[in-house]
Structure 1
Amino acid sequence: MSQDSTSQTPQYDVEIPSREAMLEVITKAIKPVPYQDIISHFKLNDERQQIGVKRRLRAMERDGQLVYTRNDAYGLPDRMDLKKGVVIGHRDGFGFVQLDEGGQDLYLPYHQMQLVMHGDRVLVKAGSADAKGRREARVVRSLSDEKREIVGRYFFEQGLSLVVPDDTRQGQDLIIPPEHVNGARHGQMVVAEVLARPSRRSSPLARIKEILGDHLAPGMEIEVAIREHGIPHEWPDNLKREADKIPDEVLESDKHGRVDLRKLPLVTIDGEDARDFDDAVYCQPDGKGFRLWVAIADVSHYVRPGTALDREAHGRGNSVYFPQQVIPMLPEKLSNGLCSLNPQVDRLCMVAEMVIGARGKLMEYSFYPAVMNSHARLTYTKVAAILEGDPALRKEYDAVVPHLESLQQLYKVLRQARDRRGAIDFDTVETRFIFNAQRKIERIVPVYRNQAHMLIEECMIMANVAAAQFVEKHNGGALFRVHDLPDEDRLMAFRMVLGELGLTMPIQGDPTPEDFAKVLEQVADRPDRELIQTMLLRSLQQAVYSAENRGHFGLSLAAYAHFTSPIRRYPDLILHREIKRILSETLPGMPGLEGKHVYDESALGELGPHCSHTERRADDATRQVDEFLKCEFMQDHVGDEFEGVISSVTNFGLFIRLNDLMIDGLVHISNMTQEYYHYDADRHLLVGESSGKVYRIGDKATVKVASVSLAERKIDFELLAVEHSSAALPPRKRVDLKRSRGKGSERGKGTSRGGKPSGKGSGPSRGKRSDGKGNKNAKKHSGKKSGKGPAKQKKRRS
């Protein structure tokens, strides 16, 4: 045996063939290879070697590399037409397999879902299509043998203890043996650890690992979301010990040799309730252009590679902002203390100093470590008022007013440059929950961006662009913020919807950001502009982190990287370390470059997907909490009437978005007028067969709140009136009137009859109908989270 074809097992202190060596043998064979043939091929006569090989083969089975056949042989999944993927459950009992290789999901009928759990990795064999055109799959084996933790509600009924999962995609209740109840009381929310996985004859067994508290207790929705999405929320003991050694104030020795910017009137501009300030700005005229300083907290000085702080920051990936609560990426001693650019105290920072031309072009830039002292802690509201001429505030902050006016002039120049390059400018309205003393929602209010928000956003974009160009110039390795071209299918669907709304989006060749920007110009004065912006967002790809720079489509930029938020985003910390590494090579001997680190191609290849995953995890968790709180708020409004617009049309009904509250709910087709309805999937229309009425996205609607389910996080409306865009189906295309009674086709044109409930309604469309949102993945492609600290909103610092 060659040296590279074997490896040593510590349990037996013997050499056995490596995975690669055994895979090579099995790959070359024309049929699955029996265990004895593998032993004979490698001439393994030692019993310890044979036991080691058997265990390694089983591990390769668990990882989906091999399949153990009925003939006691090992084969390759690909040669058996087996596919790997992740199970996506549905609350109605069936599910789908999202394939690793991409492409259309495979359908798992109810009896197959009894063998697996939502979120499991599985090996499946694809079968033929069913009557509805779905390609079914058979589960060959689960690849998720590790223990799972599931959040749910504990019940004790008729002598049986069980946990009902909070996530309705987990279609099976967990049986809790008496010895594993661990003090849980009937109705409490708990975390259950799965001990035995489901089978055809038995439900999964579990033990109560953690008791969260009473159902519907204030803040319970956050506790549930944290655990359901696997968000790290406790600091390990070794990290606490490490953090305790960090000084409370900046040491004089740490300031030595850095560029001294303490007299430069840098200021922070953030939300009213922000507690961690990671960026400060200052601008002054420079010839016909401007000189802009963006100072960012030097987190890399304190969070060094390989430390417990760094490992935890990597695992968390980013801070997670819930209403009135934040799960920070870094301990409070750093995030709100030593790394926060608080006013009137010295702080270490990394600075991007830029020269910007009269037309908004980045002419020059430089990066360096510095020490600064923030001259003022300003808020968006105050800065906007100052720039609008508020006399009292201008007097209170007279020392910085001229600098704010310079920032305002720079913003106007950058805004014009943004418009010229055709960047997409979203101006969607967000909402904010206002809580009372009992942490119940008093009201939901819209939050609008003012000039100060947009001013800071443009400054941050410019610093991010400079950082990306700096790294590319020096062939450095960091994570870029990548936003790819829109998906063709989603783009086509969006253009079809625009056509139904009387709008056009002419595209010659590949779409450009300017094409989308022109659509937003067309709808600027329309009452349904928020809805159209949301649909536009859904047509775009999701921005990700990648070691490969593919540009940022939405911002219309060739290179873009996140530099401005290392307190709450790990990719920014990676970028700071890389900038320091480059500076240490180009400016040898320069102090303040501690914390640099070399990331090779392999490491960056893993960091990109990881950081993208933690970002999506945070978005999903915060969305879940928002949906729950909106349902809780609407419970007090059952029977009330609201004005809204149709935000989505499906084969099972209409989703209505309420004006101002930005809350979505469903008008189920069974509760609509007593007639047949036909769904046109291509044009997103629901058409009454007898009346000819057309229900389309953007129609104004009056609804009454019929019911609210906190458990399923959904809101049902009763349709009172609709202001139709058209009285009848447009003549240019008739809808296919193939009729299906009961449940409509979930993936195309379908028919349901009002007045007769069509089964569960939605049919097997993937995912949980949360809060009535037709598409839960609508997401801003750029922007950093705003409002830092409790009850904060999300920042739009791209």
Structure 2
Amino acid sequence: MAKPRLPKSASPKSARAKAGSPKTAPPKLPSKARPPAGLPDKETLLAFLRDAGEAAKADIARHFGLKGGDRRALREMIREMEAQGQLGKRGRRGFAEAGSLPPVGVVDVVERDGDGDLFVKLTKGDDDVAPVRLAPDRNEAAAGAPGLGDRLLVRFEKLESGEYEARLIKRLGQSAHKVLGVVRKQRREIRVEPVDRKSKDSYVLDPAQPGVMDLREGDLVVVQQAGHAGRYGPKPCRVLETVGHEEDPRAASLIAIHSHGIPTGFSEAAEEEAAAAKPPTLEGREDLRDLPFVTIDPVDARDHDDAVYAHPDEDEHNKGGWIVWVAIADVAAYVRPGSALDRDARDKGNSVYFPDRVEPMLPETLSNGLCSLREGENRATLAVRMVFDKSGRKKSHRFVRGLMRSAAKLSYEQAQAAIDGTPPPAGQDPDKAPPLLDPILKPLWEAFRLMGKGREQRSPLAIESDERRIVITKAGEIASITRRASLEAHKLIEEMMIQANVSAAESLEAKRTPLIYRVHDTPSLEKVQNLADFLHTLEIRWNKGEAPQTARFNQLLAETRESPHAAIINEVVLRTQMQAHYSSDNIGHFGLNLAKYAHFTSPIRRYADLIVHRALIRALGLGDDGLTDQDIARIKDTAEVITHAERRAMAAERDATDRYIASFLADRVGATFAGRITGVTRFGLFVKLDETGADGLVPISGLGEEFFVHDEKLHSLVGERTGKRWPLGLSVEIRLREATPVTGGLLFEMLSDPVPADPNLPRPRLGARRQAAIKPRGGLPKGVRRGKRR
């Protein structure tokens, strides 16, 4: 039976419309009772807006039932009240009582004061709304502390003083996209090309904007999109700041700083606190000045926060044992909790090191002055005395807050040369280390060899790394790019610092004191299975079911070290590992094979170490400047903030290095180089040059006419027809096609041949790509019938 047709006026749709659809109904404004019709007086209008928060003229007129002439009178009243400062605009059409804020609103971070506090401004607010202080909040730590230009959702709270405070609810991104780019002057327009090599956008400047015509070709500028952009072509933008020029020899680090939002400089209050710092005295400290500590650092080190000393243990119960001292700069004595120095240091998280400069965590007065363990000068220290038995096992340790004086400042090369009986590299004082050989250096090496026994039993991960050193002249030019030598002196300092870090974690755990651990998780099951699949292609056995252990990884690396596959296996084992980070929860350190580990040895350049120092001072009763209850309450947030800061710094340092290397190679376009494939993707191969360590891309389109398929398990590009492969780790010869210093991009042309097909390995199905192109998924298009086969 057919359903009766309803009249149009009686349809469900029209019934919902009469009842007021949620999509079309006007906003419900707060009102306990319908006000009398007619134009309200000013006080009544203000009272309504206080309840509503904000309202447009149409909503106000509707609320008071105004029509015709009354609506015109309302517009005049609003215009008058706005001129008198009683009303303020909210967006394009809204109005609110002047200076008022909603319970919840969207804001932009607009300024940072001298104490490091952030201030936000309502995005819809006019000049009547003053910036409001953003209160510290746990929620901000998820992606690091907000920065200038960020857009946030906040809750406004009125304090007893009558002032407002904003509390973070959620980060919404940037208030308007800011881009660092290079000015390119063309015949009819001025464009800005982003320095980020991943960006596909370009921007165009309005010549009418003040200062635009004064810009030079190659100027580095920070711009912000202005107005609406078309679907295609450059986006309109306006200049916010000019930060330098692309031909500036130091432009690479400048670009990295601005691109990654690295905090620079210090607040005025922090600078004043640093300037007021005084040299240490013996008050409250143990006198360690008779111990001949030495600092051993890179030749270009800008600060010295650790010193070492060792001697045989005279205890009859520990025959053959050694005492190892590690003295660390007592930064906690100068950077007190809650101070301006502390706020700046937490915001920065760590020092950021570039080939030509350093952006320090602490002002130079401290980082290169009173907190740097300079030769022959009294310095405050938090030191640890560690006792090792003849098997290299640490028996005990004790922390001391003392006063020390470094006997000498040595480079790694100077110390190693003295031990080896050879002259140090040119340019380094050959007479500095020899007098220290018998009294200081030989005992250090004896202790290190003893500690090596314990290290072998622990079996930390033995992945080899290839580091490069970029040498910059005083003029800012690149003099050379050299491979950093791996010396025994490096391993000595590394092992002594590791043992000091372990001692700090053990002491704090014993006292049940909260701390920030340095943790490194066990590789995931998925990563280990991928490693097993890859090793199977090389006919190397790895049981997928076995639990990952550092000793097992080391066995694999040792067994293949002399094989043709050594480089690729080292690379794949490295990629199997998780990324280390800071945490208030201890999960151990897989790479070092340690159950308890915390960073203690570099408080000049890492905020995590400063927190550990404060925790030790509080737990061991070494002073009144230790960890505060507030520090403990936000220790989880601090771990997240400094992890974010560390990764930000690593990305900035890596980008700056890429740009310096691209600048160094720009004059060698067309030259050929030897290299190794270090990355395989569906769009091409990444090749690292043997000479400089530079990374560049060979696009997949430049590998020949054959179609190559990315095989993730094989870490290879495999030819669809021939099965020839470009595997990870393959040594190749390439030609440099393009070097772009401003982005750090290098483009290579492949000169080598791929590896021949392996009949034991699977190959991509012939024609799979072509079949997919001519036979859409899901069969024939709708309405098309398959014809009869004849």
TM band (smaller chain): 0.7 to 0.9
How many angstroms does 1:513 deviate by? 1.6
2:391 to 334, 359, 362: 359
Provide the rounded CA distance (Å) in 1 between the counterparts of 2:538 and 2:751: 22
Provide the rounded CA distance (Å) in 2 between the counterparts of 1:314 and 1:151: 26
Q: Who is 2:620 aligned against? A: 583
SS of match in other structure, 1:434: strand
Q: Is the 8 A contact 2:151 2:175 kept in 1?
A: no
Which AA in structure 1 matches 2:340?
A
Relative distance call for 1:711 and 1:332 in structure 2 (3 A) is: closer
- Of structures 1 and 2, the one with the larger relative CO (CA 8 A, separation 6+) is 1
Which stretch shifts more, 372-381 or 678-687?
678-687
Relative distance call for 1:652 and 1:722 in structure 2 (3 A) is: same
1:194 aligns with 2:224: yes
1:185 aligns with 2:222: no
Which AA in structure 2 matches 1:257?
G
Which AA in structure 2 matches 1:735?
P
Which stretch shifts more, 330-339 or 279-288?
279-288
Provide the rounded CA distance (Å) in 1 between the counterparts of 2:759 and 2:633: 55
Provide the rounded CA distance (Å) in 2 between the counterparts of 1:318 and 1:512: 31
1:326 to 339, 349, 358: 358
SS of match in other structure, 2:307: strand
SS of match in other structure, 1:548: coil
- Root-mean-square deviation over aligned CA pairs: 3.7
Q: Who is 2:658 aligned against? A: 627
Provide the rounded CA distance (Å) in 2 between the counterparts of 1:513 and 1:633: 38
2:300 to 266, 273, 276: 273
Relative distance call for 1:61 and 1:348 in structure 2 (3 A) is: closer
2:769 to 737, 740, 744: 740
* Residues 543-568 of structure 1: CA deviation (Å, up to 9, x unaligned): 11111111101001001000000000
Relative distance call for 1:742 and 1:414 in structure 2 (3 A) is: farther
How many angstroms does 1:594 deviate by? 3.1
Unaligned runs of 5+ in 2: 1-21, 35-45, 56-95, 110-141, 144-148, 154-169, 425-429, 774-790
1:49 to 29, 48, 51: 51
Q: Is the 8 A contact 1:680 1:736 kept in 2?
A: no
Which stretch shifts more, 432-441 or 419-428?
432-441
Which stretch shifts more, 216-225 or 667-676?
667-676
Provide the rounded CA distance (Å) in 2 between the counterparts of 1:120 and 1:680: 40
Which AA in structure 1 matches 2:217?
G
What is the 5 A alignment of 1:620-699?
620-699=651-730
Relative distance call for 1:650 and 1:388 in structure 2 (3 A) is: same
Q: Is the 8 A contact 1:285 1:291 kept in 2?
A: yes
1:226 aligns with 2:257: yes
Q: Is the 8 A contact 2:288 2:404 kept in 1?
A: yes
Q: Who is 2:105 aligned against? A: 59
Relative distance call for 1:718 and 1:609 in structure 2 (3 A) is: same
Which AA in structure 2 matches 1:549?
N
SS of match in other structure, 1:492: helix
How many angstroms does 1:459 deviate by? 0.2
Relative distance call for 1:146 and 1:717 in structure 2 (3 A) is: closer
1:256 aligns with 2:283: yes
1:488 to 525, 529, 533: 525
How many angstroms does 1:649 deviate by? 2.6
1:522 to 532, 535, 559: 559
Which stretch shifts more, 194-203 or 273-282?
194-203
What is the 5 A alignment of 1:35-434?
39=30, 47-51=49-53, 56=102, 59=105, 143-144=172-173, 146-157=175-186, 160-177=189-206, 178-181=208-211, 184-194=214-224, 196=226, 206-247=237-278, 250-251=279-280, 254-286=281-313, 287=318, 288-390=320-422, 397-399=434-436, 401-434=438-471
Which stretch shifts more, 377-386 or 449-458?
377-386
Q: Is the 8 A contact 2:719 2:764 kept in 1?
A: no
Provide the rounded CA distance (Å) in 1 between the counterparts of 2:564 and 2:690: 10
Relative distance call for 1:32 and 1:521 in structure 2 (3 A) is: farther
Give the share of equivalent positions with the same residue, in percent.
34
Q: Is the 8 A contact 1:192 1:206 kept in 2?
A: no
1:499 aligns with 2:525: no
* Residues 548-602 of structure 1: CA deviation (Å, up to 9, x unaligned): 1111010010010000000000110111111111122xxxxx5x55354335554
How many angstroms does 1:229 deviate by? 0.6
* Residues 703-746 of structure 1: CA deviation (Å, up to 9, x unaligned): 2223333354332222222473xx323425333445336999xx
Which stretch shifts more, 685-694 or 199-208?
199-208
1:554 aligns with 2:591: yes
How many angstroms does 1:426 deviate by? 2.9
* Residues 375-397 of structure 1: CA deviation (Å, up to 9, x unaligned): 11122112112222349969954
How many angstroms does 1:153 deviate by? 1.4
* Residues 74-97 of structure 1: CA deviation (Å, up to 9, x unaligned): xxxxxxxxxxxxxxxxxxxxxxxx
Relative distance call for 1:200 and 1:719 in structure 2 (3 A) is: closer
Provide the rounded CA distance (Å) in 1 between the counterparts of 2:748 and 2:771: 20
Provide the rounded CA distance (Å) in 1 between the counterparts of 2:386 and 2:33: 64
Q: Is the 8 A contact 1:545 1:611 kept in 2?
A: yes
1:462 to 481, 499, 523: 499
SS of match in other structure, 2:751: strand
Which stretch shifts more, 482-491 or 311-320?
482-491
